[in-house]
């Protein structure tokens, strides 16, 4: 695919600010730059702290989505997990109600301002309503803390896996030798110079792959074909445009043994489609997404924030591979 010119990209950008129902990853408004290209829509939403060399992967994914059709699909719908942010336990039923039919839930744990007791209460509240539970620590535990947490969180029931319980590959490998719960890697893949290193080190049982941070669907599928462990496709707090890319990636995999983390659209009060596609019986359909023009206008970021994203695209563009 020939790389479009910078000016062509900038002429196609729509910057939106999507309000969120709860604080997630420290934010309550998700800003994204959507690109309307000849093949459809792409999404650039690298988090603000990412510097241009890393954020350029997210821009590459947006360009692929806007200028290149998705790969052939092996399935037309994708099982999704409910996503439970680090909310108080009493809010869990309210959160899960947004994921009708889901029989798997991913629960955020290891929030810096919270304790293991908070995590346990949240997991127990989820377990009372959903049969399969996985937790995501975003690298927030040491090995010893992860061992203790694994013991506490499985005292009354199993966990499907611990996602990124520790920050480094070496820590994941040590933890995996000390516990019986499967370990999933996310940041150790998407933020690594070598995304296959975690598997070679025997540090993970499952790979959590996200389209945008890995540079697009094509790059994700290449990693999935080489990593040698089961894959879960997840989102990066994407709008409906980014979710559609994740669904296309999941649809192209030859095997999909686990529910995918692509139901995060329910975290938004408003999205760029009207209405946002809800799950049906725990599944989302694989289909193109076209933002509603009225919503693009209503959800447009302030002029200052639009200019910030334009300048960010300018800074990332020279780093595209």
Instruction: Return binding residues.
Output: 136, 163, 186
Q: Is 191 designated active site?
A: no
> What sign results for the dihedral spanned by CA atoms 35, 41, 45, 46?
negative
Determine the straight-line distance between the first and last CA of the chain, rounded to whole angstroms: 12
Provide the token pair at 106: 């991913």
Dihedral (Cα; 270, 84, 93, 88), 10-degree rounding: -110
Of 57, 190, 210, 258, the catalytic one is 210
Of 14, 108, 127, 312, the catalytic one is 108
Instruction: Return binding residues for Mg(2+).
Output: 136, 163, 186
Name the residues annotated as catalytic. 108, 210
């Amino acid at each position: 695919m020939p790389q479009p010119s910078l000016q062509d990209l900038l002429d196609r950008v729509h910057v939106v600010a999507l309000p969120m129902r709860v604080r997630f990853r420290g934010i309550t408004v998700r800003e994204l730059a959507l690109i309307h290209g000849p093949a459809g829509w792409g999404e650039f939403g690298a988090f603000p702290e990412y510097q241009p060399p890393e954020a350029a992967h997210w821009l590459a994914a947006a360009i692929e989505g806007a200028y290149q059709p998705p790969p052939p699909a092996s399935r037309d719908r994708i099982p999704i997990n409910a996503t439970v942010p680090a909310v108080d336990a009493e809010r869990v039923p309210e959160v899960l109600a947004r994921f009708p039919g889901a029989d798997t839930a991913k629960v955020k744990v290891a929030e810096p301002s919270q304790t293991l007791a908070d995590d346990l209460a949240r997991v127990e509240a989820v377990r009372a309503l959903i049969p399969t539970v996985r937790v995501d620590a975003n690298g927030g535990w040491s090995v010893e803390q992860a061992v203790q947490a694994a013991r506490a969180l499985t005292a009354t029931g199993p966990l499907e896996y611990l996602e990124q319980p520790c920050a480094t590959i070496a820590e994941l490998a040590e933890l995996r030798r000390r516990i019986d719960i499967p370990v999933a890697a996310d940041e150790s893949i998407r933020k690594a110079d070598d995304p296959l290193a975690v598997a070679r080190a025997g540090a993970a049982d499952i790979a959590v792959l996200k389209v945008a941070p890995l540079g697009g669907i094509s790059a994700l599928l290449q990693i999935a074909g080489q990593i040698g462990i089961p894959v879960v496709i997840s989102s990066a707090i994407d709008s409906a445009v980014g979710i559609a890319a994740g669904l296309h990636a999941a649809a192209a995999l030859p095997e999909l043994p686990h529910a995918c983390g692509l139901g995060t659209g329910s975290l938004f009060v408003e999205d760029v489609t009207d209405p946002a596609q809800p799950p049906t019986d725990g599944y989302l359909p694989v289909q193109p997404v076209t933002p509603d023009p009225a919503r693009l206008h209503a959800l447009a970021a302030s002029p200052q924030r639009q200019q910030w994203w334009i300048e960010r695209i300018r800074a990332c563009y020279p780093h595209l591979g």
